[in-house]
Amino acid sequence: MAFGIEAVELRRVALPLVAPFRASFGTESVRDVLLVRVLTAEGEGWGECVARSEPLYSAEFVDSAELVVRNHLVPRVWPAAQPEDVASLLRPVKGHPMAKAAVELAVLDAWLQAAGVPLATYLGGERDRVDVGVSVGIASSLDALLSTVAGYVDAGYRRVKLKIEPGWDVEPVAAVRAEFPGVALQVDANGAYTLADAPVLGALDGFGLVLIEQPFPDDDLAAHTTLARRMSTPICLDESITSAARAVEAIDRGACSIVNIKPGRVGGYLEAKAVHDACVARRVPVWCGGMLETGIGRAANLALASLPGFTLPADLSASDRYFRADLTRPFVLEGSQLAVPTGPGIGVAPLPSALEEYTTSVTTVRRP
C-alpha cells in the first residue's frame, strides 16, 4: 500500500490524575503526555509517548522525548512506506525507546486505518476481551491501603498489584492478604531493593503471590538469578526487558520465569510482539504492563494484550482508575475485563473537546 507522511504533529497534554500515584520512582498528580500525530494524504494516526515527567523510571523523560522526536526521529521517518520500516530508519539514533515507540505507533495507526485493519488483527491477537488488574501505589497508611484495595475489589478487579519499597513491603502485603484472601495478589518493587534485602523479600513467599516484579535494578540480572533460586514466588522482570534479545538472555540465565511487556520500554509494538513470541517459544508467560496511559496508549496495549501468550491479567485498568476524563471515550470495566478496540488502527481517536481542554503546546513538523 502506498504510504507517504506529509507532517508530524507533537502535542503535549496535561491530564490530571484522580489521585496522586506514588511508587518508588516518584509521585505524579498530572500526566504530562507527549502525543505524536502522523498526517498522510489518506488520513492520520496517533501515538503516545509513555515517558514520565522526570527520568526516574528510566533515563527518558517527556521533555527529552519531545526534543528527540522533533529533531532526530521525525527527520528520519519520512521515507517510511510501511510500519516495519520505522525501527530500521530510527535505529541510528541510540536509545530513546519510548520516543521511538510513540512514532512507530502513530505510523502504525495511520497505515492500518488506511488499510482498514485493526491493530489487534495486524499483531495476531486472538481475544476480543482482556483480563485486567489494578496497580495500587504506596499508600499513606495501612488503613488507606485496605480501603483503596477494597474499592477495586468491589469494582470487579480480581488481580491487585501492590507497589513496594524498603520499609513498605511485608506489613502491607500481609494486611492485604489477610483482608482479601481470595484475590490474586502480586507486588512490584521497580528495582528498589538489593540482594542484601533477600531475607525481607523471602518473607513474601508466605503470602501466595502471583509474582514479585523487578525487585533489583534493571542491569543486575545476576542478583535476580540468585533470588529466583531462593524464592518459590516467581520472579518477573520489567525494566530489565528492553528487547526480545534481552528477554531471551534473562530467561536463559534463570533471572525470571515471567515477563512484563511494555511497548514503550522495548521501543515499539513490533518489538513487543517479538518479545511475546520469544517468551511463548520458551513457555514463559507474559503480561502487558501499564504506564498510566491515556486512552490512546491503552487502546494499543489492549490490542497487544489480545495475543495468545498474554495469559496473566494486564495492568490496563479502566479509564476512571486514573483519570476523571480521558482523552478518548473512556474504557469501562466489564466484569474483570476490558474490550479490545475493533476499529481500524488503534480503534480510537482523541476527543476534540478533550484536546482543547488539556493541550499545553503543539508543534508541527512538515516534510521538507
Q: So which residues are the catalytic ones?
A: 163, 262
Q: Pick the closest to residue 300 from 320, 270, 275, 259 (CA basis).
A: 270
Q: Are 305 and 331 in contact (CB under 8 A)?
A: no
Is residue 76 packed enough to be buried (19+ CB in 10 Å), middle (13-18) or exposed (0-12)?
middle
DSSP 340: P
83 in helix, strand or coil?
coil
Q: What is the DSSP string of 26-76?
A: EEEEEEEEEEEEEEESS-EEEEEE---SSTTSSS--HHHHHHHIIIIIHHH
Q: Which residue has the cell 512507530?
A: 104
H-type alpha helices, 231-294: 244-252, 263-266, 269-281
DSSP 368: -
